Amino acid sequence: MRRRRFLALGAAAGVAAVPGVATATASAATRSPRLLADPSAAGASDSLRDLAARIGLRVGTAVIPFDLDTPAYAAVLANQFSVVTPGNEMKWQVVEPAQGQFDWSGADRLVSFAEQHGQRVRGHTLLWHNQLPDWLTTGVANGTISNSQLMDLLEQHIFTEMGRYRGRIWQWDVANEFFTDSNPSGINPNDFWVSHLGPDVIPRAFRWAHQADPGALLFYNDYNIAGEDGSNAKSDAVYQWLQQMLDQGVPVMGVGNQGHLDTQFGFSGERMTQDLQRYAGLGLKVAITEADVRTFVNNATAQVPTDNLAVFAQPYEFGQMMKACLAVPACISFTVWGFGDADSWIPGFFTGEGYATLYDVNLNPKPAFSELQQDLRLAATGAPRRVHT
């Protein structure tokens, strides 16, 4: 009963069910920025999105909707990418800053940009310990929100947000970052949600999400779960948990490996391939969801690497991630976490680091861009045959 009420609330907010996949293949007339950069006779340009399209892959990026006001930013976004993820604008803290008061402005803007440019949307994220609204965390801390009310609020949140965008989101990151970084790894008992509601909150969220938008691909998303840590313990734990979830009929449909790398740490592209393949072996889709590769830089403004070798290591690691995705047919999207160094979250979070994206601070493509383009070109067309005479 309660579920129906929440669905009705979504409808009352004026949100009709729109077939999202259909809108994602918008007509040529609505894709004009791309057509300007897509003049070849074959109808396929050298953009990341067009090369990837030839093998059924989508290339995405996190977006800051405010940046759409900058024409150069909007042009790169439209020309190069076929999936968008709101970096922050679908998080609970942003969409419901005061209880019962909603701000969908950033998310709406991004979804409509995507639909106008033949892009799909990755929704991010419904169940996470971070970027929760103050009214929620304060209420839980001071006891005015009980655990059972917290569960109801989560259910309502999922139905409200997914109901609003029902049919227009390709993949949803339903649950984000629940596993510990220890060896062995497991669901973090100290996580905000798990400590209050127990680990069963995660499968519950997936079941609600499936009811709220039955057409959306529902993802579990985390970092260091495909080749990034030496032990692979976190990947093992996530894999076992996914097996359990699927055995219980929980509608988990995909695994997102974030792909936040740093040139100072080891990383195995081969292991990433194996881990993605292993998830795919469970019948799941896989995706790289937040790729970036950071390194030490001179300062946060110019973001010039301090180590000469970093300009080789950075594109190499991007290329290794792309090759892992390309090798696994179930890998349906490769998303970077912002495409320009000026917009990246890295300098604000990692002292002394930056240079983490595909474009420099002036929005010029870097070697990492060429690396991905070359990988995609080879994947799309194959190497030309040798001529021996």
Annotated catalytic residues are: 177, 290
Q: Which of 213, 290, 353, 371 binds ligand 9MR (CB under 6 A)?
A: 290
Chain length of the chain: 389
* Structural contact between residues 317 and 368, judged by C-beta atoms closer than 8 angstroms: no
Sole binder of ligand 9MR in the list 20, 87, 269, 305 (CB under 6 A): 87
In this complex, which beta carbon is closest to ligand 9MR, that of residue 34 or of residue 234? 234
Query: How far, in Å, CA of 288 to CA of 325, rounded?
Result: 7
**Interface with ligand 9MR, residue 88, by CB under 6 A:** yes
Q: Which residue is nearest to ligand 9MR (CB)?
A: 345
Task: Find the helix packing angle between 2-12 and 201-212, rounded to 10°.
Answer: 50
Taking the least distance from each CB to ligand 9MR, the nearer of 89 and 275 is 89
Regarding 318 and contact with ligand 9MR (CB under 6 A), the answer is: no
DSSP conformation class of 142: T
Choosing from 258, 320, 335, 357, the residue that interacts with ligand 9MR (CB under 6 A) is 258
Q: Which is nearer to ligand 9MR, 81 or 345 (CB)?
A: 345
Q: Which is nearer to ligand 9MR, 87 or 133 (CB)?
A: 87
Q: For residues 134 and 89, what is the distance between their CA atoms, to the nearest angstrom?
A: 16
Give the residue with the Cβ less far from ligand 9MR, 155 or 343: 343
Which residue from 99, 105, 112, 131 is in contact with ligand 9MR, where contact means CB under 6 A? Answer: 131
Q: How many residues in the shown chain lie near ligand 9MR by CB under 6 A?
A: 8
Site string for ligand 9MR, 168-197 (x = CB under 6 A): --------x---------------------
Provide, rounded to whole angstroms, the least separation between the CB of residue 206 and ligand 9MR: 18
The 3-state DSSP class for residue 162 equals helix
* Contact call for residue 341 and ligand 9MR (CB under 6 A): no
CB of 44 to ligand 9MR, least distance (A): 31
Contact present, 145 and 139 (Cβ < 8 Å): yes
Least CB distance to ligand 9MR at residue 380 (A): 29
Cβ contacts of 50 within 8 Å, gap of 6 or more:
38, 44
Residue from 193, 345, 359, 369 binding ligand 9MR (CB under 6 A): 345
Tell me if 256 contacts ligand 9MR by CB under 6 A: no
Kindly state the smallest distance separating residue 361's Cβ from ligand 9MR, in Å: 17
Buried b (16+ CB within 10 A) or exposed e, 199-233: eebbbbbbbbbbbbbeebbbbbbbbbbbbbbeebb
CB of 128 to ligand 9MR, least distance (A): 7
> CB of residue 176 vs ligand 9MR: minimum separation in angstroms?
6
Closest CA to 63 of 121, 6, 103, 13: 121
Asked whether position 130 contacts ligand 9MR by CB under 6 A, the answer is yes
Is 156 near ligand 9MR (CB under 6 A)?
no
Please spell the DSSP secondary structure of 5-50, one letter per residue: HHHHHHHHTT-----HHHHHT--GGGGHHHHHT---TTS--SSHHH
Can you read off the two tokens belonging to residue 100? 């019962």
Q: Which amino acid is at 185?
A: S
Q: Determine whether 303 is exposed, middle or buried from the number of CB atoms within 10 Å of its CB (0-12, 13-18, 19+).
A: buried
- Nearest by Cα to 131 from 190, 88, 181, 194: 88
**Per CB under 6 A, 364 contacts ligand 9MR:** no
DSSP at 383: P
- Residue that has been written with the tokens 């997936």 in this structure: 206
Residues that bind ligand 9MR (CB under 6 A): 87-88, 130-131, 176, 258, 290, 345
